[in-house]
Chain A
Amino acid sequence: GQNIDQPTEMTATEGAIVQINCTYQTSGFNGLFWYQQHAGEAPTFLSYNVLDGLEEKGRFSSFLSRSKGYSYLLLKELQMKDSASYLCAAPYLGGGYQKVTFGTGTKLQVIP
């Protein structure tokens, strides 16, 4: 099975850096996704890590440690528009299909 844990809520200040952690336990590893979801909208893809290390993409970076079952999403130079839920998700093979299990999401509030 798949089990994903991440904090429920976080608050950070505009312009600052915030790190959102995710721990996972999966039967077979097929990478890890991070998605951003604004209230009332569908998730949008942020990153996909399959190898250990940090991958940087503009203000957002994602880190993976397969041995520790741990990932984090790093958001730099926070902007008000970054207030959203951030979902950690793990793909897995189920019934012959590649499916995805989502964590409950971390609701980030950026304050002035």
Chain B
Amino acid sequence: GAVVSQHPSRVICKSGTSVKIECRSLDFQATTMFWYRQFPKQSLMLMATSNEGSKATYEQGVEKDKFLINHASLTLSTLTVTSAHPEDSSFYICSAHSADPSVERRMTDTQYFGPGTRLTVL
């Protein structure tokens, strides 16, 4: 249980285009999803918190107009990188926080990660 998928797994695009990344919780409802970015040889950096039915909250230094987040349902959040540039090339990872009481109690504090999306902007 607690599977999170991401699509696409890999995308290459030209500078100036927009790219949409989907994050889905497959077997549980995720009231909250998180979007991370990871540059080579660096750790995961939280970009924003996506909450179903409300606006996303962004971490300091993350441009909300550039990284559009939509949490359309309890199982889907999307991240759109608008007008992508080479410096946006990174590994984008989503995670979902399960508040499902059927999941082992300790694990409700765990975030379940999607497999990640490798974005390369030419």
Residues on A lying within 8 angstroms of B by beta carbon are 30-31, 33, 40-45, 48, 50, 87, 91, 94-95, 97-105
Contact = CB atoms under 8 A, between A and B. Distances in A.
Contacts of B106: 48, 50
Contacts, number: 53
B109 interface: yes
A105 B45 CA distance: 12
Binding site secondary structure of chain B: strand
A97 B43 contact: no
B119 to A, nearest CB: 13
B70 interface: no
Interface stretch (B13-21, B61-69, B75-83, B110-118): B110-118
Interface residues of B, number: 24
Contacts of A103: 43
B97 to A, nearest CB: 6
A43 B44 contact: yes
Given A45-B110, A97-B57, A102 B51 contact: no
Nearest to B106: A48
